[in-house]
Chain A
Amino acid sequence: MKSKARLMQGNEACVEGAIAAGMRFFAGYPITPSTEIAEFSAEKLPLVGGRFIQMEDEIASMAAIIGASLAGVKSMTATSGPGFSLKQENIGYAALAEVPCVIVDVQRSGPSTGLPTSPAQGDIMQARWGTHGDHPIIALTPSSVRETFDLTIKAFNLSEKYRVPVILLMDEIIGHMRERVELPDISEIEIINRKKPAVSREEYLPYKADDDLIPPMACYGEGYRFHVTGLAHDETGFPTNNPAVADKLYRRIVDKIEFHKDEIVEWEEQNTDDADIIIISVGGVARAADTAMKQLREKGIKVGTYRPITVWPFPDKRLVELADRVKAFVVAEMNLGQMVLEVERIIKDKAKLIKVNKVNGEAIYPEEIMEKIEEVL
């Protein structure tokens, strides 16, 4: 049998994963370094009966995928930092109206137009707090081409399950990198679809949550004739100014993620058992961290790695445990210190915290992490 192994780009793996997850609508706007996601979607979607549209701008792309999702079709858009900023108002809409959708942000160097073809991780905080008001969000950070495929599927699954916008937070390194992958058989992939109402139109309350804090979701055209708004609303879905009802709504949509955090969070750790120092990093930087760890171990320095796969919600419980027994954490990121703020909040002063930051448009090299570790030892 011929091997299924092939060379694949991260951005292409994202589209393969999305289609495997059931994406049948993509709306986007060209922006480096995410453009290949739009291009592959345009090529592949009509082949499976899906539809692609290049909208007039980033705002419209985000709006279109929310509309399509309400009509019952799994939808995605992809962008980079500047476009991600433009999408933020409607991402908030999706969070409040609880519309499943996936937003890919292939991070590039910024702010503003920055260095469009160069990698960065400057949107860690934008992914969490980019839209206004308190809102739920999930953000996933792949660090290989194969993981981009897997996490795109996971993004759709989480989005459908929790009725929440999910950000696939890539970076230029992973998006543009090509590497050897073997994709799984479609039959081996777990697909989650949104919970549908079990009641008739007359009894259906679109925003009445079950015990899991998630309301079942009808879609347009099914005869439920329901209303969706970005205004604060009651269980019927209609606007309200009642402070108690608004308070309950805002708390529920945030709590529904908090409540399921243990099921949602994912991370990978290596050699943490005996580690004196643990490198924390995501995406493309995690690849440098792996090399740094291996080379330092060869020198007898006990280094481990901790890689959040869900950067939001941040996998904090395990980090607290690790903080009790390591001497130091090294947080390496292609920004001037964003994820480190979350780490600092979690570990308090239980362990020393060392920062490795780079914003010049180049990847963080293993040597830069190694030097910093050797410096503090």
Chain B
Amino acid sequence: MGKYEIRLSGSGGQGLITGGIILAEAAILDGKNAVQTQSYGPEARGGASKAEVIISTDKIDFPKVRDCDIFLSLTQKSFDQYGKNVKENGIIIVDESIDTRNENKVIYSLPIIDTAYNVLGKPMVLNIVALGVIAAITNVVSRNALEEAVLNRVPKGTEELNKKALEMGYSIGKNAIK
């Protein structure tokens, strides 16, 4: 498949815009085209926020996501607000805390927040755990490119932590598709 439309949603401060940027940079490292856009309210923290990424082997015209191939949601509010327009065969990945309300699609409900907050004990790597999950389930970017993109973006001194977060996300994702 040549084109993926991806929407990452949650609340402000969860790092999803950075997550979208990293995903797009990983796609470029894979030699593909990528566009990242975002939508946010006046709040720097809280509220519902979304980052959108389109990855394609072709030129990307319209830069906003229309029908998601991949939809990630980390909060109930963002699930309710941005969860529409997922393609028939689209993949939905949500945190286990979200009530998906009998949505009739392929849904992976996984302990993403718990892994970052409790297992790793570092809420700031939530977005990286989520990226690991997405990559493992969808293969939208290669693991090597994603790791390189993560390491290019994260603050100095947090490389090991972020690598670990990515790894844990991967294994959660891999286990889910077993």
Task: State the A residues within 8 Å of B (CB).
Answer: 3, 5-7, 116-117, 173, 176-180, 284, 287-288, 290-291, 294, 363, 365-367
Contact = CB atoms under 8 A, between A and B. Distances in A.
Nearest to B36: A178
A324 B63 CA distance: 33
A21 to B, nearest CB: 25
14 contacts: A6-B28, A7-B28, A7-B36, A117-B41, A117-B42, A173-B37, A173-B64, A177-B37, A178-B21, A179-B24, A179-B60, A180-B28, A291-B61, A366-B61
A366 B62 contact: yes
Interface residues of B, number: 21
B66 A365 contact: yes
Contact of B62 (A3, A6, A116, A288): A288
A102 B60 CA distance: 29
A179 B62 contact: no
B40 interface: yes
B42 A116 contact: yes
Contacts of A294: 61
Given A7-B36, A116-B42, A179-B34, A290 B61 contact: yes
Interface in B1-46: 21, 24-25, 28, 31, 33-42
A93 to B, nearest CB: 34
A44 B36 CA distance: 23
A266 B5 CA distance: 32
Shortest Cβ-Cβ A-B pairs, 10 listed: A290-B61, A291-B62, A178-B36, A291-B61, A179-B35, A7-B25, A288-B62, A287-B62, A7-B24, A180-B28
Contacts of B66: 365-367
A31 to B, nearest CB: 13
Interface in B51-72: 60-64, 66
Given A5-B28, A6-B28, A7-B28, A177 B36 contact: yes
Contacts of B40: 117
A365 B62 contact: yes
A177 B61 CA distance: 12
Contacts of B38: 176
Contacts of B64: 173, 363, 365
A212 B42 CA distance: 49
Contact of B33 (A6, A180, A284, A287): A180
Contacts of B25: 6-7
Contacts, number: 60
A178 B24 contact: yes
Given A7-B24, A116-B42, A117-B40, A287 B63 contact: yes
A292 to B, nearest CB: 8
A291 B60 CA distance: 9
Nearest to B38: A176
**Most chain A CB within a 10 A radius of its CB, from B34, B61, B62, B64:** B62
A288 to B, nearest CB: 5
Nearest to B66: A365
Contact of B35 (A116, A177, A290, A367): A177
Given A7-B21, A177-B35, A365-B66, 18 more contacts: A3-B31, A7-B36, A117-B40, A173-B63, A173-B64, A178-B24, A178-B37, A179-B34, A179-B60, A180-B24, A180-B28, A287-B61, A288-B61, A290-B61, A294-B61, A365-B64, A366-B61, A367-B66
Contacts of A290: 61-62
Nearest to B22: A7
A113 to B, nearest CB: 11
A358 B5 CA distance: 23
Q: In this complex, which of A5, A7, A116, A290 has the most chain B Cβ atoms within 10 angstroms of its Cβ?
A: A7
B34 A7 contact: yes
Contacts of A173: 37, 63-64
B156 to A, nearest CB: 17
A291 B37 CA distance: 17
Contacts of B31: 3
B62 A178 contact: no
A42 to B, nearest CB: 20
A177 B62 contact: no
Nearest to B20: A178
A180 B62 contact: no
Contacts of B37: 173, 176-178
Contact of A179 (B39, B41, B42, B63): B63
A288 B63 CA distance: 8
Nearest to B62: A291
